[in-house]
Structure 1
């Protein structure tokens, strides 16, 4: 069995961060979200991974390498334009050959992994296995109807009137039967080849598609809200660890990670929180659910429930929360009177002042 991991999307919901940064590499708890998916694949016993990459290919290659750090062998499959999940299967046809394969969306976080879905597939005789979760608003997802025997009987992409609350989570297992299906479907109204349509064709032609129910936590991290929610979830499972320097006038409360080379000076950090390598926190308050990446500086500032990327600086900022702060960003206080906001913002920015 192989795995096909999709990391070619444009990340439009995370702009402007993703104008210059692959969305699958945005970190949660200081680790790229893509890494959690690769670890889930390795845990399920799959070793060969085809990573579908687009505009962020260079950075993804640099981060993942040959996959050996995850116990995997990674091949890179270029996708010039993301034209749907089923399109990724089309371009990977030669690499996949006639093997069964897992398909995993690289910006999804599945806390309990995919072991159960893969085990269910291996134990049965299905042509495809899908992972389903109950959601409060099925209109935003691909939706499946499932019989009492666990067999999928119908599927629909983002239905206006859902007949089920079971949404397709971003992980699937397929036999080579899916290749005929993806070649037979046509682009949807949004111009994409939908994997939901390919699954529906399998069901409609008598192929067996079975479901595994997900009971644990799952989130699509394609938006800022989703990314911050996953960051909180991962930090909740962290354990306190201090490998950097914490001076006597500082206080660490709860699950705080201070990575090697980081310095905490005259500051208070309330966990769960993580301070990345070579970062300096001085005269500041870091609140719960803050992930400060490597090489950052936080001085005379307050921040919580936020993700701060590599090399960012916060100085003299009274309070920052529920924020995503990109690489090498500088956030400082306005010292002039009368008080005013001075902003330099990229396309598609969102600011709350």
Structure 2
């Protein structure tokens, strides 16, 4: 056990597991119009909400006491996660009255966290490989904070860290106009209780939020032990459609094929395809990796690689590839859809002859690409 932090009790290696603070209160503005009516953390990847992957990674790391910060979509998040028992965890919900930044979420959770160490996990982030190794290192080395970094092509979109020649963290900035490195903060942070004093000292940034980068910078400036690991594995912030489709592709690459539903003799499954119980595939061709949800009917259709069709959908006389289709949606005689994210209870229908004009009913912030 390393020397104790000033005024802070330390635990021996192998002591009680840390807590986890999962942030699920964001509004998902970059995924509109989908997130006008749904929580962005519950948009499915390979037919499972992206938030579930984070909860499962936390439990796999040995953390079962989880606080979930929720906002306007709190009831939907509660309905999906329940009390946490389905994950082998115990979930406490922590209401946040407004989106006030990552450090504000820590402030909201202050009483629940107490003086326990904790992992903060952004609910719309996706990390392949989990966080078990990071949690083990944190518990062994006992720093005041441990951040995960990854190299990105455009760091101005993220929190950015600057390291010295020894690899120590010397400077952090949130979405800087002129980044001082290409190292972005991954949405997983590990903290000891010293972070609470740093958060309490934060003032709103130019964005009007309490930034976690400012709190970590204060830890650095006051001589606290802040460490960083640069990961080389796959990480995505699933905040926009393109990233959702990319994560869906990566997850489907590891898909185990299974046919639990009905596939008739006139249909063909190629590669890694999963057909859930209650689904029906008739006179169709499905090229994997692809997953067809329970109760879904695919008839006289083609489902191409890297496509997830959720439960209780119908795809008829159409082609769908590299796309995500959410539950209760219908796609019929629609030609070919590619690189698409279709929301819940959507109907996409073609016509028997080429129309002279397009007829559209679109929500706010929609984007439509029409073939000429």
TM-score, length basis structure 1: 0.98
Tell me, in whole angstroms, the C-alpha distance in 1 between the residues paired with 2:268 and 2:55.
Answer: 35
1:32-74 C-alpha deviation (Å, 9 max, x unpaired): 0000000110111111000001111111111111111111110
1:14 is aligned, of 31, 49, 53, to 31
Is residue 296 from structure 1 mapped to residue 313 from structure 2 by the alignment? yes
Tell me, in whole angstroms, the C-alpha distance in 2 between the residues paired with 1:245 and 1:337.
Answer: 34
Tell me, in whole angstroms, the C-alpha distance in 2 between the residues paired with 1:126 and 1:150.
Answer: 15
1:73-103 C-alpha deviation (Å, 9 max, x unpaired): 1001111211100000000001101100000
Is residue 49 from structure 1 mapped to residue 60 from structure 2 by the alignment? no
Counterpart for residue 62 of structure 1: 79
Tell me, in whole angstroms, the C-alpha distance in 2 between the residues paired with 1:327 and 1:157.
Answer: 34
2:225 is aligned, of 183, 202, 208, to 208
1:240 is aligned, of 257, 260, 263, to 257
1:284-327 C-alpha deviation (Å, 9 max, x unpaired): 00000110000000010110111100100000011001111011
- Deviation of residue 147 (structure 1)? 3.5
1:222-272 C-alpha deviation (Å, 9 max, x unpaired): 100110000000000101110000000000000100000000000000000
Question: Is the contact between residue 243 and residue 261 of structure 1 (CA under 8 Å) also seen in structure 2?
Answer: yes
- Counterparts of 1:91-240 in structure 2 under 5 Å? 91-240=108-257
Question: Is the contact between residue 117 and residue 130 of structure 1 (CA under 8 Å) also seen in structure 2?
Answer: no
Tell me, in whole angstroms, the C-alpha distance in 2 between the residues paired with 1:66 and 1:301.
Answer: 40
Tell me, in whole angstroms, the C-alpha distance in 1 between the residues paired with 2:328 and 2:123.
Answer: 24
Is residue 287 from structure 1 mapped to residue 275 from structure 2 by the alignment? no
- Deviation of residue 336 (structure 1)? 5.6
- Deviation of residue 340 (structure 1)? 2.2
Unaligned ranges ≥5, structure 2? 1-17
1:148-205 C-alpha deviation (Å, 9 max, x unpaired): 5443111111222222211100000001111111111111111111100110111011
1:97-144 C-alpha deviation (Å, 9 max, x unpaired): 110000000000001111122122112131000011111111111111
Tell me, in whole angstroms, the C-alpha distance in 1 between the residues paired with 2:337 and 2:23.
Answer: 33
| SS of alignment partner, residue 349 of structure 1 | coil
Tell me, in whole angstroms, the C-alpha distance in 1 between the residues paired with 2:42 and 2:143.
Answer: 33
Is residue 73 from structure 1 mapped to residue 81 from structure 2 by the alignment? no
- Counterparts of 1:259-270 in structure 2 under 5 Å? 259-270=276-287
Tell me, in whole angstroms, the C-alpha distance in 1 between the residues paired with 2:101 and 2:310.
Answer: 32
| SS of alignment partner, residue 334 of structure 2 | coil
Tell me, in whole angstroms, the C-alpha distance in 1 between the residues paired with 2:300 and 2:276.
Answer: 18
Counterpart for residue 305 of structure 1: 322
Tell me, in whole angstroms, the C-alpha distance in 1 between the residues paired with 2:23 and 2:320.
Answer: 33
| SS of alignment partner, residue 300 of structure 1 | strand
| SS of alignment partner, residue 51 of structure 1 | strand
Tell me, in whole angstroms, the C-alpha distance in 1 between the residues paired with 2:150 and 2:354.
Answer: 53
Tell me, in whole angstroms, the C-alpha distance in 1 between the residues paired with 2:246 and 2:44.
Answer: 12
Structure 1 outlier segments of 4+, above 6 Å: none
Tell me, in whole angstroms, the C-alpha distance in 1 between the residues paired with 2:231 and 2:58.
Answer: 16
- Counterparts of 1:326-341 in structure 2 under 5 Å? 326-335=343-352, 338-341=355-358
Tell me, in whole angstroms, the C-alpha distance in 1 between the residues paired with 2:55 and 2:266.
Answer: 40
- Deviation of residue 146 (structure 1)? 2.2
Q: Which moved more, 1:294-303 or 1:160-169?
A: 160-169
Tell me, in whole angstroms, the C-alpha distance in 1 between the residues paired with 2:329 and 2:208.
Answer: 38
Question: Is the contact between residue 116 and residue 212 of structure 1 (CA under 8 Å) also seen in structure 2?
Answer: no
Alignment RMSD, CA only? 1.1
Is residue 349 from structure 1 mapped to residue 366 from structure 2 by the alignment? yes
